[in-house]
Amino acid sequence: MEYSLGYLTGRTVLITGGTGSIGRELLWRVLASGARVCRVFSRNEFAQHLLAEELREQGLYERVRLLIGDIRDRERLMRAMEGVEVVFHCAALKHVTACEYNPFEAVKTNVIGTQNLVEAALQAEAERVVAVSTDKAVSPRNTMGATKLLAERLVVSAERWKGSRKTTFTVVRFGNVLASRGSVIPTIVRQIRKGGPVTLTHPEMRRFFMTLGEAAELVLAAGGLGEGGRIYVLKMPVVRIADLLEVLVEELAPVFGFSPSQIEIETIGVRPGEKLHEELMSPEESLVAEEFDDYFVIDPFAPVANRPLRAYSTLEQEPLSREEVRDLLHRSGLLSDLPRLLEETSV
């Protein structure tokens, strides 16, 4: 995927959810691209404190503004957006089970918060907005997916009703990010460290996976390719969760003083709202999508093409072998990042 980061050079950038996994990765890349200043907007005071210490150590603190706030708070978001030229919208409630039991909280953050962001960007006359979405927004069967689908629609449709305003609105959709905060891998690490059992929801569950660096690259690319009103979807490898668990047990059990054979894998059943298989693109969306070597571009408002339906789901794609999963974990640097994973699973 060829793109230029020139749109960031000398600019004022805002990252919502900027202390999360993807937000932090974007921050480092935005600063490296020559952005004048980057505002990190999040409600996590402690995470901002830790980030500030890291920025000071690297001599980058003066180019970052740490803003405590919630995208539900429209007035606070309006103030944070003043003078901003590029927006990366990562803030969301992302955990399926939490959203199932607290559905209107998901609505307030993922739907109302996103609309607040759209209106704030238009008022500030920002140049471009790139919003991060999820495969769970495709044919959703849970609250999180439904609210993220609405968030996608709010962002993409803003391109149609913005009038003469110059802001462009783009969505990036991808699957699971390896070892992002609150994802399955830190949970598995904690369980292995305790000697098991490691819990598996269903032996046939499959997920799309990508590295943190790949996720950040796609977000930046969408900003660089930047035609508004589009959804960018990266083609991603499929992993059987059972294979992922087995590989992690083999790799990490000896690190914690256990033999892999000592760590039991216990099947606990699918949790409320979970799917066995996920989609990155629905069959209907394939009729308004353009395919490239490593990604799709979906235009929800384009004329429907006369061609066969095609889904892009974990059911249709061949999953990685266990050795390919092992290679993915090593290439991602995840296994060498155990100190961070241990810190996050210490509570």
Q: Domain extents for the chain? A: 6-178+209-236
Catalytic residue among 94, 136, 148, 275: 136
Backbone φ and ψ of 250, nearest 5°: -60, -40
317: nearest Cα among 235, 232, 197, 244: 235
**What predicted TM-score, i.e. pTM, was given to this entire model?**
0.92
Tokens 């004022």 belong to: 12
Q: What is the pLDDT of residue 182?
A: 62
Q: What is the pLDDT of residue 345?
A: 47
Q: What is the pLDDT along the chain (347 residues), one digit of tens a residue?
A: 667 889 999 999 999 999 998 999 999 999 999 999 999 999 999 999 999 999 999 999 999 999 999 999 999 999 999 999 999 999 999 999 999 999 999 999 999 999 999 999 999 999 999 999 999 999 999 999 999 999 999 999 999 999 999 999 999 999 988 867 667 888 888 899 999 999 999 999 999 998 888 889 989 999 998 689 999 998 999 999 999 999 999 999 998 999 999 999 999 998 888 899 999 999 999 999 999 988 999 999 999 998 999 889 999 999 999 999 999 888 877 777 665 555 554 54
**Protein fold of 6-178+209-236:** Rossmann fold (3.40.50)
Tokens 């609150």 belong to: 182
Catalytic-residue membership of 136: yes
